[in-house]
Structure 1
Amino acid sequence: LLDGCSGCIAGTVAASRRVAGTRRVELEIGGERQRVEIELPVDHPAAQKSRVAFRPGRWKLFPAA
């Protein structure tokens, strides 16, 4: 996760859940509030409605439901 980074994807936390040793966070990004899911360490302080910016290191794309 990066603070004040150009070229990052930034969004607002919409949902969060714990899965094994990680936390999966859904972010709403862009004007249409599309959702992306990222994995964070369990102790990361991302709270509901907070802003998070990240630069993906690896990713998978799935069709919209």
Structure 2
Amino acid sequence: LFFRPHDVDLVEECNGCIAGTVAASRRVADTRRVELEIGGERQRVEIELPVDHPAAQKSRVAFRPRRWKLFPAA
């Protein structure tokens, strides 16, 4: 699954969303880039959040990509 970090909508309820735990965060200009660990294998994805978003280390964030592509595994 491929999506750009800025092409996501944050959601409160997780019907068909992707949810993960904040593993790392850094500021980039007027946004924050947050790495989330998702799934049982704790794979990482990166999303953009507003600078004032309350996401903290180990907190849960749920999102839904607006645009995405699915590529075969092999």
Task: Tell me the TM-score normalized by structure 1.
Answer: 0.87
- Count, aligned residues: 65
Counterparts of 1:34 and 1:62 in 2: how far apart (Å)? Answer: 16
Over the matched positions of the two proteins, sequence identity in percent amounts to: 91
Counterparts of 2:72 and 2:26 in 1: how far apart (Å)? Answer: 22
Partner of 1:46: 55
> Which structure's relative contact order is higher, taking Cα pairs within 8 Å and 6+ residues apart?
2
Alignment partner for residue 19 of structure 1, among 16, 28, 41?
28
- Structure showing greater radius of gyration is 2
**Structure 1 residue 63: deviation in Å?**
12
Q: CA RMSD in A?
A: 2.8
Task: Tell me the TM-score normalized by structure 2.
Answer: 0.77
Q: Which runs of 4+ in 1 moved over 2 A?
A: 58-65
- Structure 2: give runs of 5+ residues left out of the alignment: 1-9
- Structure 1: give runs of 5+ residues left out of the alignment: none
Secondary structure (helix, strand or coil) at the match of 2:65 reads coil
